[in-house]
Amino acid sequence: MKRFNVVVAPRNGGKTRYLSSIKCAYGILTKSIDSSKNELYFYDLKSGNTHSFLKRVDGRYQEEEGAFEWAEKILLALTSGTVIIDECGKIELVNKRGFYNVINTLIEREDITLYVAVRDSNLELFLNTYKRNWNIIKL
């Protein structure tokens, strides 16, 4: 198993489903209340706890206060093993917020195998932002 893995697919391309299938992994999945994806939440693989993340209002997503802080605390507590981050997008790659600092911290930890979901349209920006030897898993 490679240490740095990026799971790549278009929107609704199966990234979360793929990450959910990885055995003995911890971290954060981004899930939807239903197929409309009007409400998204973070799901902690270790505890099963959830936290509201985004809600669509007037066609635009609004970030729920405290969501990234909640997820960041969970991710930074992981010091070894297989860690999943679903997903890294424009919030991280353009705005340098969200999971941006968490990913930078986790790639420096020796005992972590990391899986990060990225839309295919963001792959080049991701690879230029996080300069590592990433194993690219295209779905």
pLDDT digits (tens, 9 = 90+) for 14-40: 999 999 999 999 999 999 988 888 899
Instruction: Give residue 56's Cα distance to chain centre.
Output: 19
Q: In 10 A of CB 53, how many CB atoms?
A: 23
Mean pLDDT of all residues in 36-63? 93
Pairing of strands 25-32, 39-44: antiparallel
- Spell out where 96-134 has E strands: 112-119
The reported pTM is 0.94
pLDDT for 1 beyond 60: no
Give residue for tokens 């240490």.
3
What average pLDDT is seen over the chain?
95
Spell out the domains of the chain, with CATH numbers in brackets.
4-138 (3.40.50.300)
Instruction: Give residue 111's Cα distance to chain centre.
Output: 19
* Contact by Cβ (8 Å): 47, 28: no
Mean pLDDT of all residues in 37-49? 95
With a pLDDT cut of 70, the percent of the chain lying above it is 99
With a pLDDT cut of 90, the percent of the chain lying above it is 88
